[in-house]
Amino acid sequence: MVFCPSLHAMSRRGWILFAAMSLIWGIPYLLIRIAVRDISPPTLVFLRTAPAALMLLPLAIRQGALGSLRTHWRAVIAYTACEICVPWLLLFRAEQHIPSSLAGLLVAAVPLIAVLLAWVTRHGDPPNWRRLIGLLVGFAGVAVIVGVDVHGSDLIAVGEMGIVALGYATGPLIVSRYLSSIPSLAVVTASLVLTALVYSPVALTHLPKHLSPEEIASVIILIVVCSSVAFVVFFALIAEVGPARATVVTYVNPAVAVVLGIALLHEHFTIGIALGFPLVLIGSFFGTGGMRRRVAPEAT
């Protein structure tokens, strides 16, 4: 086993990929909030995946990347369900009821869940007292945010966001354990194609009759930047720094979501955000062992 140093020792390439993902996956919450005004969640999932799949499929075929999926189709299906198919639907549904900033903050629990999953699946070291305290502090921060800012029927949306966070934490583990030898382009393309096919029956019969220029722009950016480009960059980040560190982009994503939500959608900076968000950040930092990771040696 090789124990890598803390995040400050990342390569320049790792930092560039980390910064790119922090921004790319911080803006979707704002865009989704705009898009779901007139687009149903299943239709938005289809609109976000189908064009992106069509963009990547010719490239994947040209590179001969899809042939490697034949012996890994179960892992690809599992990854698709955990990272795209289920989380995106629930995220889009949740943003119909809660602010984009709150949705982004709830996803900040992903690193905490990833640590627990890595421990349970024996893909990481058992948490020591420092990490256990970090986990408790982080989840306490989520509880503060939810307890202060969520009321009534919004609790259903919070439950949906909990499933989203669980899926986002599971996806990188599947990639690391079962798909690390597969070209990222193949996995991304297959996942987008599968998700588009799943939602096409509902989406094609529930297309919106009218979209504002703002909604059209949001969907286009979601397709090109937050789907096609994002997954290629995310797989490169996993390969560069490992799955545990890759989920640490969720430390920064919520801050981007909060700033954009307040600045562009006029959402409120609440007491729950002020009190809970720092606890989530501190808890995530210590809960993930100061951003350390463990990786298996390369096969020879």
pLDDT of 127: 64
Q: What's the pTM?
A: 0.77
How do residues 29-70 score in pLDDT, each as one tens digit? 889 989 999 999 999 999 999 998 998 899 889 888 888 888
**What's the pLDDT tens digit per position in 168-206?**
989 988 988 889 888 888 998 999 999 999 999 999 898
- The ranges assigned to domains in the chain are 2-295
How far apart are alpha carbons 88 and 217 in whole angstroms? 19
**List of residues 6+ apart from 221 with CB closer than 8 A:** 27, 31
Average pLDDT, the chain: 81
pLDDT confidence bin for 293, thresholds 50/70/90? very low
Separation between Cα atoms, residue 103 and residue 23, nearest integer Å:
16
Q: pLDDT for 203-216, tens place per residue?
A: 989 888 889 999 99
Phi-psi region of 246 (alpha: psi -120 to 50; beta: other; left: phi over 0): alpha
The end-to-end CA distance of the chain, in Å, is: 15
- Give the number of residues written for the chain: 300
Closest alpha carbon to 26 in 296, 255, 267, 280: 255
Q: What are phi and psi of 2, to 5 degrees?
A: -120, 125
Q: What is the pLDDT of residue 295?
A: 36
Q: How far apart are CA 153 and CA 150, in angstroms?
A: 9
Q: In whole angstroms, how far apart are CA 82 and each of 168, 174, 285, 295?
A: 7, 9, 24, 22
DSSP bridge partners of 3? 294
The answer to whether 275 and 148 are in contact (CB under 8 A) is yes
Q: Tokens 């042939």 map to which residue?
A: 67
**Separation CA 21–CA 236 (nearest Å):** 10
In sequence order, the 6+-apart residues with CB closer than 8 A to the CB of 260 are 26, 27, 29, 30, 100
